[in-house]
Every structure is written in C-alpha cells, then in structure tokens.
Amino acid sequence: MFNFLFGKPKTLKQKSREWQRTLKKQMRQIDRSIREMEREEKKLMSEMKKLAKLGNDNKKALLTMSKSLVKSKGTRMHLMTSKAQLNSLIYQIKE
C-alpha cells in the first residue's frame, strides 16, 4: 500500500549483501589502522635506537617511548582480533 512512499521492502538476500558490504568496509578501515600503527611502531623503534646510541642520559625518554610502543602493540593486536571476528561474521552471514 505504501510502497510508493517507502519503496519495496528489501529481501533477506539484499539485506545480507548490504551487511557484508558494510562489514568489509569496516575490515578495510581496520586494515588501514593496523598498517598505520605498524609504520608508527617502526618510526618509534628507529628513534629509540638513535637515542640508545647517544648514551645513558636519555633513559626517561626511552622509557616513555617503550611504554607507548607496548601500548601500540597491544592496540594493534586488539584490532587484529576485531578484524578476525568481523571476518567470521561475514562468513556466517554468507551461509
């Protein structure tokens, strides 16, 4: 009756494709975040190596950098877990 106002109701197959599309988009976003974090970790590691070569007077800076590196790695692992869960969800929707 109100199809002209709201359009046709979507079928289950159309809804599942739409959900898969949004989930894959989120996975790509997570991938970008993971790659960005890896680049930042590499930069931080190189800075830490440079500071370590300079001497012992930079211990506080090295300590804070190493703490941020550990936090970054933890966050990256959390993102990888989220990505795996999204991938699992996509495969469940396909069935």
DSSP per-residue letters across 12-64: HHHHHHHHHHHHHHHHHHHHHHHHHHHHHHHHHHHHHHHHHHH-GGGHHHHHH
Under DSSP, the state recorded for 1 is -
Mean pLDDT of 71-84: 95
Q: What is the pLDDT of residues 27-63, one digit of tens each?
A: 999 999 999 999 999 999 999 999 888 877 888 888 9
Q: Which two tokens stand for residue 19?
A: 């959900």
Would the pTM of this model clear 0.95, i.e. be above it?
Answer: no
Residue linked to tokens 């989930």: 23
